[in-house]
Amino acid sequence: MQPQGYVLLVLHAHLPYLRHPEDPDALELHWLYQAITECYLPLLEVMERLEAEGVPFPLTLSLSPTLIAMLADPLLQQRYEEHLERLIALCDREVARTARHGPIHATAQYYQHLLRRRRRQWHRYQGDLLGAWAGLWQRGRIELITTAATHGLLPLLAAEPAAVRAQLRVGLQAFQRAFGHRPPGIWLPECGYYPGLEAELGRLGLRYCFLETHALLAAEPAPPHGVHAPVEVGSGVAAFARDPECSRQVWSSREGYPGDFAYREYYRDVGFDLRPEELKPCLHPEGHRIATGLKYYRITGPTDQKEPYDPAAGLQTADRHAGHFLWCRERQVEYLAPRLGRPPAVLAPFDAELFGHWWFEGPAWLEMLARKAHFDTRIWAFTTPSRYLAQHPPTHGAQPPLSTWGDGGYCDYWCNGENHWVWRHLHRQSARMAALAARYAGAPADSPTGRMLRQAGRELLLAQGSDWPFILRSGTQVEYARRRLLTHLGHFHHLARALEQGEGPPEWLPEAEAAACCFPDLDPAVFA
């Protein structure tokens, strides 16, 4: 029986570019380590297990170019493996330490088995997670897409159109370099859209993008199908919009599934509970405490009083929530299909790191949902944007307004009292880069001028990442974000000044190239 409607599950995996060859103990590298251990490896395990058992689960996964560069980096692969070994050693010590602590000891043993399984999985891939994702794509199990080069917020970069073009084109080139061909669609950073962006997307051959709910609800003319069918926004680009009900159920820590009291508590970690001597070998050389991922307590309630975490109870709760999500989508599709006159497209987009990192049981929830959708329902089915568009192309056109999925729905979170100073520098330096790219067009890539121009482009792209103003506003790791911004802008300024004055490369250029070695085939012409 043909499904009456479809759910498009889209996960966006992104981290800002982190390398720090000069400091193997940089605390921020743990952002990558935690994401690999708690999110990317579990998601791969789920997808491969479903494939082996013949359960279809057509997931769409967006991998940002900065994340692609880090996952392909031999230095970071080696450092991650060393980190995993240290974590396993700590876990082994925890199993011995908690021998007399009943439920906590059982949870420590659970982590011990889990981390050893992650090590076997990592070794089976030989550290090549991109190859594992590519294999799933080639076998038709998932659809891979990407985003702008360094996740630059395009509506705020649009004051210099060349900056938007460079972000998009370099991002697509990085994806093509990693996977052999370009993606069919794109995840706009922070779902940031502005009128006119579709022309650049169309020129690059992109067929679809994703927007926040109000972007379609406020579009002109109003789409007759609301957010439950894609619309043609121009230049052959279709836009899907987020379904608000799915978002509340899965995303919200208060109203949604992740806040259930049976689930693992994210913030209570042995990295902050144990004495320093008990944390070795995972204690930072300077004594800084860091989250280890070994967490023994469940959410329990809104107070600081926490009860021991029971992994089996967490999985039972995930199973119940998967069943609830399935039932809700059935009722939603039953209601929408006859009223729309076409199979509705229910878009459920999320940050990939929600599943496993923030919501520990998230990957298990996805696996249970895939099984239930396959065996227990015929009303709706999972699909990818490309498959949906092939069967049900847009029947209406509309012009959405400027929008993001950030707090407030526009750009306030990235341009406010804490971070507005960033943008005047980015706009000014983008104009300088465009002039330099035109002036030195045709400079050989391996010449001193070519090297300086390429590195200036990398530094500018890295400064444009939306992560830095976001962190400045959120108040977490503010000094790191400020330092990264000033470093990239400073490197760009000195390289640009040397090029403008006809000087040779500075002595620190090789060091800067080693620290920011992403986009090795960057063509400065994209900035012109």
Give the active site residues.
Answer: 190, 351
Tokens linked to 284: 């930072």
If phi over 0 gives left and psi between -120 and 50 gives alpha, with beta otherwise, what is residue 475? left
How far is residue 47's CA from residue 57's CA, in Å, rounded to a whole number?
8
> Which of 115, 198, 112 has its CA nearest to residue 154?
198
Beta-bridged to residue 63, according to DSSP, are: 13
Report phi then psi at 113, rounded to 5: -65, -40
Beta-bridged to residue 5, according to DSSP, are: 380
> Which of 368, 377, 315 has its CA nearest to residue 49?
368
How far is residue 400's CA from residue 207's CA, in Å, rounded to a whole number?
16
How far is residue 55's CA from residue 201's CA, in Å, rounded to a whole number?
34
371-377: long-range contacts (C-beta < 8 A, 24 or more apart)?
Answer: 371/50, 371/55, 372/322, 372/323, 372/326, 373/7, 373/57, 373/326, 374/55, 374/56, 374/57, 376/326, 377/326, 377/330
Residue 320, classified by CB atoms within 10 Å of its CB into exposed (0-12), middle (13-18) or buried (19+), is middle
Determine the residue type at 93.
Answer: R
> Which of 198, 231, 221 has its CA nearest to residue 395?
231
User: What angle is formed at CA 54 by the lines to CA 117 and CA 141, rounded to 5 degrees?
Assistant: 80
Residue 281, classified by CB atoms within 10 Å of its CB into exposed (0-12), middle (13-18) or buried (19+), is exposed
Question: From residue 356, how far is each of 44, 348, 353, 519 by CA, in Å?
Answer: 12, 17, 7, 29
> Among all chains, which residue has been given the structure tokens 């998230």?
362
> Which of 338, 384, 73, 139 has its CA nearest to residue 225?
338
